Structure 1
Amino acid sequence: MRRGGKRRWLVDYPRAVPLAIFLLVAAVTVLSVFAIERGERVRENADLSRQADAMVSAIERRAYSSSSFLRAGAALFGSQQSVTGDVFRQFVSELRLDADYRGAEGIGWAPAITDNQLAAVEEQLSFGRVGQMNVRPSLQDDPRKQLVPVLFLQPDTLRNRKALGFDMYSEPTRRAAMDEATRTVRPTASGRVNLVQDSGPDEFGFIIYMPVFDGRGAQRSLKGFVYSPFNASQFLTSASELITSPEAAFRFFDVSGGKPLLMVETENWVDDGHTVERDVDLANRRMLLVVQSKRDMALSPLSLITLLFGLAVASLLLVVARLLTQQAEEDSRSLEWFAQQNSIRNSLTRELNHRVKNTLANVLSIVSLTRRRAESLDEFAEGIDNRIRALSATHDLLTQSEWGTTPIAAVISVELAPYINANDHEVVAKGPDVELAPNDALSLGLAIHELATNAAKFGALSCSGGQVSVTWELVNPHLARIEWIESNGPNVEPPTKRGFGIDLIEKIVAHELRHPVELEFDPKGVRCRLMAAVREPSEFALRSKYAAAKLDQ
């Protein structure tokens, strides 16, 4: 039952079942791809977090190294009576900046002075120079009492010489960092600034300051700052060199007042991508690092393979399911056809049995009546032979029509065939196209045979010039009237006793046709009127149904 139920689903829903299978497999495939992509995202987040942590560590290591150098410089310069060029250059040479101080523009010294000390500092700036160097911005443009001009900056490059003489205390961001460094006495990074060395307005960096004091305790005074300027791009590049696989893209922000200010981003940064943020403690200042995955939003190779394989399997199952539904439909049609054939065969068997019984009943009646009316064995044999032949001729006619409807004209033509072509008498048969059921055609054939036999022996067909007219017409759509009229034959005298023909026509034929038969022995010729029902073919045309059903299959 369960297996048959499954096959019924294939037959009842021939298109829905394959589509449902396709959608089910496609849904499983999509879920699998989703799970794979989710795993890839988790792995990607882990890798991105690892790279972000590694980059933060590298940045803080760079900042810590710079702070260590600045602390050493502050300790050295604080012990000196004054920071001269020779002392500063000797200190920087010991640091080996090219090898150990990558990412920084160098190390500089900026004394903390008042406007009264400005002339001495400008003289020191101009020593060994071709022209006069002044502190900028000038006090005329920006009056101020506290100045922190750049006095020394190593390495001595054309780029770094641009910064000499610049009063860093005149710029608010630098001033805030120096004040914080003075307060905390520790290396302190500034916010985002445009370095004097940089020519472009979009180039940003930051500066780490370490205060240098003259004296100790409450008697100490600020001598100046040892500092390192950093170009943000170079600093981020040098930090990325410390991690093993810098595959991600980076953005570096200065956080000022809770608002991030972009300092630099790598060239491979894109606007839309998965990112991870990390806070960076860079020399006593909060900064923000944003790491972006280089992976695009397309499916991973494993997801793409899974998707293509799943869709291929879904399509294959769709085709297979469709073939199964077609096979199930064909099997169902075959079963229905076999059931229909079995029903038709059973019906035909019952109909054949019924008609054989009717035919045998007619034969028995003919035999019985012939035996009672025959006066000799030869007469009995001849009567039986003729009547069985007439019955057989009508049977042949019915067989040719596959036991469907039979035209009245065909029945009359078969029974009168021996007399139609004779030259000494005339046979006329005419009427509309009317067809009778098989049993009615057999009964009509027997009646016409008896009338023709009687006419050949005693009536119009027994002499020259005789005429037999057989006409028929429809009384109504369900009833036909057949009329036999003999003329120009011998005078007819009513029979003195009833013969077989009269009993056959008035009893057997009238019973089979379900209507009385009017048989009149007129002196001018025998007259006979029969009534036959015109029935619907569906009541008996089983053979026709069978043939039509067979053609439909």
Structure 2
Amino acid sequence: MEYPRAIPLALFALVMMITGLSVFAMERGEDRRTEAMLIARAESVSSALERRANANSSYLRAGAALFATLDDVPRSRFDRFVSELRLDSDYRGAEGFGWAPVVRRSEFAAWSDARESENSLRTQIFPALVPGQPFAVPVTFLQPDTERNRRALGFDMYSETVRRQAMQEAFRDLRPTASGQVVLVQEGAAPEPGFLIYMPVVVREEAGPRLKGFIYSPFNAADFLGSALELEGASDFGVRFYDAVDGKEQLLASAGVEDGGKNKVRQGIRFANHRWVLEVYAPSTSALSTLSLLTLLFGLMVALLLMMVVRLLTQQAFEDDAAISWFAEQASIRNSLTRELNHRVKNTLANVLSIVALTRRRASSLDEFADGIDGRIRALSATHDLLTHSDWGTTPVRAVIEAELAPYARDSERMLNLDGPDSELAPNDALSLGLAIHELATNAAKYGALSVPGGRIDIRWQEVDGNTIRLDWAESGGPEVKQERARGFGTDLIEKIVAHELGRPVDLRFDPEGVKCTMLVPLRQPTDFSLRARDAGEEKPPAS
């Protein structure tokens, strides 16, 4: 009732919030399920990559152990070693196996002569050694013997920084070691990233280990990743393979969907004495899942339905409350009017008796008495007509006071002094003021300044702040006011009922020299009491 628009909107927002939380929970669960699948996929692909690399490293270790026992590694011996491995045609993601011996500057010519005698084609070491380079590590043999692999023969791998660092680390640790990202020499016009795994061939001597050369495997990164994915089967996930070196990551290869989306899992791998990073991700989608979409639509319909129902109930409650308030107000008005009528009848009778007594005392003949009492009773009737039959329009303050004091205004033995501006009062305020003036005048006629000759009543009013009138009633010249007296109905009427109707406190004082009363009467705009006037005129309850 206090928030007719806010309650339906708050209920709608609450239902939508619950629906949103439900959708969020379902989407969160879906993300977790996807994340779990991504983790499983990442572990399986990582395991496949490690198996590929470890199998190749095992072959390199075997070759290094064999070649370390030979004084020289001729082509026939190398080809026989590779053939006995009985590898499949694609070498499980590798480009093959190669042999690269350590060749010093003085041995370049002999190395070229040996290659010419074996291949009937003279091969030169390239690029030329830079000053300070102690030796070269040229590609001597590379199986399978294809046109593509022949492009790499004679290439000094020690001349390139990334390869050289990997070879130095492999010699230092005496185990298979992978290089970082490189482009293989045998790549054609569209080079793709790759890497190599080196295994040093070392001869044990009394002075210490002597490096004889390296048996190695070159890898095309895309082929290497593809061979691992073949072991795991197809899936809807994407995979990226990174080289992680010195805190930096370089993309080597990717497979599957290209859009990474928000769901992704990154996993570090270490094989061939090198660190790699594998990233597995699910394709991004901006749409909600089917269950989440259905839940959202259902929640929206429920929220709208509840909002409409609450809105209808609130509207009905407003109409019922308005009807109840109207009937209660009418009942209160009738009760107040009944009490006021009863009191006014009594006061009117008292005034009539007082007027009769005063008129009789001053009259010298029966006709004079009849004329005097008739005029005062007519004045009292005019006051009643002014207050109750003004058609609920505005009433001047002076007119209300004059109507109530009209029965006493013609008596020359008393003085009535009225002073104030031409201010207009609303109907209810005029009735309340008239009721108060009537009670004060009645009391004055019974016990105060109007009860004896020479009595004086000063009534002054003025506008205080533009919306309030201050009215002062002061009696003088009357009998001394008794301080020990019973509280009458008139006092309660002024201090409680009149003060309540005016919405302002009433200061009523029974000073010994005379009664004094100060009232604050509101000045209202017509719009403030037009509804009251209409209701009073129509006497109809609001529609339900």
Q: TM-score range by the shorter chain?
A: 0.5 to 0.7
Q: Alignment partner for residue 19 of structure 1, among 9, 12, 15? A: 9
Q: Which residue of 2 aligns with 1:331?
A: 320
TM-aligned CA distance change 1:259 to 1:543, over 3 Å: closer
Asked if 1:281 is matched to 2:270, the reply is: yes
211-220 or 156-165, which moves further after superposition?
211-220
Q: Alignment partner for residue 386 of structure 2, among 530, 535, 552? A: 535
C-alpha distance in 1 between matches for 2:384 and 2:39: 101
C-alpha contact (below 8 Å) 2:261/2:281 kept by paired residues: no
Q: Deviations over 1:354-373 (max 9, x none)?
A: 9xx9xxxxxxxxxxxxxxxx
TM-aligned CA distance change 1:316 to 1:142, over 3 Å: farther
Q: Secondary structure at the match of 2:386?
A: coil
Q: Which residue of 1 aligns with 2:53?
A: 63
Q: Which residue of 1 aligns with 2:378?
A: 515
Shift of 1:283: 0.5
TM-aligned CA distance change 1:327 to 1:112, over 3 Å: same
Question: Which amino acid is the alignment partner of residue 167 of structure 1?
Answer: D
Q: Secondary structure at the match of 1:164?
A: coil
Structure of greater Rg: 1
What are the within-5 Å matches in structure 2 for residues 186-225 of structure 1?
Answer: 186-199=175-188, 203-214=192-203, 221-225=210-214
Asked if 1:89 is matched to 2:79, the reply is: yes
C-alpha contact (below 8 Å) 1:29/1:310 kept by paired residues: yes
Q: Alignment partner for residue 145 of structure 1, among 134, 150, 166? A: 134
C-alpha distance in 1 between matches for 2:384 and 2:246: 113
Asked if 1:263 is matched to 2:252, the reply is: yes
What are the within-5 Å matches in structure 2 for residues 400-479 of structure 1?
Answer: none
Q: Deviations over 1:323-358 (max 9, x none)?
A: 11111112222323444565678799x69x99xx9x
C-alpha contact (below 8 Å) 1:513/1:532 kept by paired residues: no
Shift of 1:136: 0.9
Q: Alignment partner for residue 76 of structure 1, among 44, 63, 66? A: 66
Q: Alignment partner for residue 148 of structure 2, among 156, 159, 163? A: 159
TM-aligned CA distance change 1:332 to 1:544, over 3 Å: closer
C-alpha distance in 2 between matches for 1:552 and 1:248: 69
Long gaps (5+) in structure 2: 346-365, 393-531
C-alpha distance in 2 between matches for 1:43 and 1:334: 59
C-alpha contact (below 8 Å) 1:125/1:165 kept by paired residues: no
C-alpha distance in 1 between matches for 2:44 and 2:383: 112
Q: Secondary structure at the match of 2:60?
A: helix
Q: Which residue of 2 aligns with 1:36?
A: 26
TM-aligned CA distance change 1:275 to 1:344, over 3 Å: same
Shift of 1:303: 3.2
C-alpha distance in 2 between matches for 1:221 and 1:284: 21
Q: Secondary structure at the match of 1:550?
A: coil
Q: Which residue of 2 aligns with 1:292?
A: 281
C-alpha distance in 2 between matches for 1:549 and 1:237: 92
Give the root-mean-square deviation of aligned CA atoms.
4.0
Shift of 1:230: 0.6
TM-aligned CA distance change 1:512 to 1:129, over 3 Å: farther
Q: Alignment partner for residue 95 of structure 2, among 88, 100, 105? A: 105
Q: Which residue of 1 aligns with 2:465?
A: none
C-alpha contact (below 8 Å) 1:195/1:229 kept by paired residues: yes
TM-aligned CA distance change 1:85 to 1:131, over 3 Å: closer
Question: Which amino acid is the alignment partner of residue 302 of structure 2?
Answer: V
Shift of 1:231: 1.0
Q: Alignment partner for residue 171 of structure 2, among 179, 182, 188? A: 182
C-alpha distance in 2 between matches for 1:544 and 1:157: 109
What are the within-5 Å matches in structure 2 for residues 331-410 of structure 1?
Answer: 331-339=320-328
User: How many percent of aligned residue pairs carry the same amino acid?
Assistant: 47
Q: Which residue of 2 aligns with 1:173?
A: 162
C-alpha contact (below 8 Å) 1:252/1:262 kept by paired residues: yes
C-alpha contact (below 8 Å) 2:34/2:263 kept by paired residues: no
Q: Alignment partner for residue 228 of structure 2, among 212, 220, 239? A: 239
Shift of 1:28: 2.0
Q: Which residue of 2 aligns with 1:308?
A: 297
Q: Which residue of 2 aligns with 1:454?
A: none
Shift of 1:196: 0.6
C-alpha distance in 1 between matches for 2:47 and 2:326: 83
Q: Deviations over 1:488-522 (max 9, x none)?
A: xxxxxxxxxx9xxx9xxx79xx8699239xxxxxx
C-alpha contact (below 8 Å) 1:125/1:134 kept by paired residues: no
Question: Which amino acid is the alignment partner of residue 69 of structure 1?
Answer: Y
C-alpha contact (below 8 Å) 2:196/2:216 kept by paired residues: yes
Q: Deviations over 1:462-509 (max 9, x none)?
A: xxxxxxxxxxxxxxxxxxxxxxxxxxxxxxxxxxxx9xxx9xxx79xx
Question: Which amino acid is the alignment partner of residue 330 of structure 1?
Answer: E
C-alpha contact (below 8 Å) 1:190/1:208 kept by paired residues: yes
Shift of 1:149: 1.0
Q: Secondary structure at the match of 2:99?
A: strand
Shift of 1:32: 2.5
C-alpha distance in 1 between matches for 2:245 and 2:538: 95
Shift of 1:107: 0.8
The two structures have a TM-score, normalised by structure 2, of: 0.61
TM-aligned CA distance change 1:338 to 1:534, over 3 Å: closer
C-alpha distance in 1 between matches for 2:7 and 2:197: 73
TM-aligned CA distance change 1:143 to 1:120, over 3 Å: farther
120-129 or 108-117, which moves further after superposition?
120-129
Q: Which residue of 2 aligns with 1:253?
A: 242
Shift of 1:47: 2.6
TM-aligned CA distance change 1:116 to 1:12, over 3 Å: same
Q: Deviations over 1:224-255 (max 9, x none)?
A: 21110011111112122233564433332223
Question: Which amino acid is the alignment partner of residue 268 of structure 1?
Answer: V
Question: Which amino acid is the alignment partner of residue 11 of structure 2?
Answer: I
Shift of 1:118: 1.5
Q: Secondary structure at the match of 2:378?
A: coil
Question: Which amino acid is the alignment partner of residue 60 of structure 2?
Answer: L
Q: Secondary structure at the match of 2:294?
A: helix
C-alpha distance in 2 between matches for 1:167 and 1:53: 37
Q: Deviations over 1:153-188 (max 9, x none)?
A: 111222211111111111121112112222222111
Shift of 1:207: 0.5
Shift of 1:321: 0.8
Shift of 1:218: 5.4
TM-aligned CA distance change 1:533 to 1:36, over 3 Å: closer
Shift of 1:130: 6.8
TM-aligned CA distance change 1:533 to 1:207, over 3 Å: closer
